[in-house]
Amino acid sequence: MRIDVSTGSRLHFGLICGTAETGWKFGGIGMMLRHPAWQISLQPARSQQEQIVASPEATSRTIEFLEQIRTRIPLPSVNVTISAEVPFHTGLGGGTQLGLALAAAAELLSTQRASHDPYQLAQLAQRAERSAIGTAGFRDGGCLIDHGFPADPSNGRQVDRIAVPEDWRFVLVRPKEAQGLSGDQERSFFNQRIQMPELLVKQLAAQINSHLAVSLRDRRFDDFADGLESYGNAVGQFYAAEQGDVFAHPAVRVLVEQLRAQGIHGAAQSSWGPGICIPARSISHAQLIDSLIPASIDRTPLTTLISEPLNVGATLRTSSPELGPGHLA
């Protein structure tokens, strides 16, 4: 049996470091995009020797995830082919989506049943250490509002979902060779138990609930873009001491100022960056924004991509006629 998994990528507009008292402990807002995407095929190997066809970094991460998954379920030897990838450590949630995709395929191969619980898959892959946006987005797609760890764990984590207007687009820009904070360095930062001031937590929560969520539901693009920029700036100022400024990469800071001078608003960094997204009301608007972005800034090559919202979960397809294709949701 061969299992094919397709996922999108994840934007996260900034983690809220609240407390049990203020709420929003590792909460925030983000969304799923159709591209970049993971396209993964997994099938039983005919021998104990596994074969993984992917880029060197994706191969290494795949091996790590399979080892983690095997500590929890009896997964046989498999061959994995990855034909499309999400770049790691660029603000797109590539590691989480890969881990969940492999966990979903492994669960289906081992039990002949598809798991519809993304948090169970996250446990298999040892993901969702803090944010639940990529985990919930793997199943549901759309825009996700993560209210953070609840004061009472028995209540479960609240993650609200809003469909993103299908005609909106998002221009993704990142320095071609740079990566954001990750791994041990990121863990060390959060192990300091950094907390946001209560007033900032309240301001960010109000920005999400009263501006971003409402403008999405009402399809008010300009309000959404303004709200996203305000939210990203407020979060970025909190993390500036660790990442260097509101935007992590110097070339991106210059680019955002250039775009603002030309009337383009809404740019926000995703996670630790260095990539940013710029919302657009349509494909033509996105193409206009893309045309204003230079190939490089201060000798730093930039790469751009116009993506569309992904309002459905990851897709699993299998050669087994009894199971059939379908979304996780």
Domain boundaries, the chain: 3-163+313-327, 169-307
In the chain, the percentage of residues whose pLDDT exceeds 90 is 81
Q: Over the stretch 40-55, which tens digit does the pLDDT of each residue have?
A: 999 999 888 899 999 9
HSE toward the beta carbon, residue 68, CA cutoff 13 A = 18
Q: Which CATH fold topology does 3-163+313-327 show?
A: Ribosomal Protein S5; domain 2 (3.30.230)
In this predicted structure, the answer to whether residue 96 has a pLDDT above a threshold of 80 is: yes
**Interatomic CA distance for residues 207 and 214, integer angstroms:** 10
pLDDT of res. 111: 81
What is the β-pairing status of strands 268-269 and 159-162? unpaired
Give SS3 for 52: strand
**Same-fold call for 3-163+313-327 versus 169-307:** no
Q: Which CATH class is domain 169-307?
A: alpha beta
Provide the H-helix boundaries in the chain.
56-70, 94-111, 118-125, 133-140, 183-191, 198-206, 213-217, 221-243, 250-261, 283-291
**Interatomic CA distance for residues 189 and 15, integer angstroms:** 13
**Interatomic CA distance for residues 144 and 29, integer angstroms:** 6
Q: Over the stretch 118-164, which tens digit does the pLDDT of each residue have?
A: 999 999 998 878 899 999 999 999 999 999 998 887 788 899 999 99
For the beta carbon of residue 96, count every other beta carbon within 10 angstroms.
26
Is the Cβ–Cβ distance between 315 and 146 less than 8 Å?
Answer: no
Give SS3 for 76: coil
**95 residue type, one letter:** G
Q: Over the stretch 217-251, which tens digit does the pLDDT of each residue have?
A: 999 999 999 999 999 999 999 999 999 999 999 99
**Interatomic CA distance for residues 148 and 25, integer angstroms:** 5
Answering whether pTM is above 0.85, one says yes
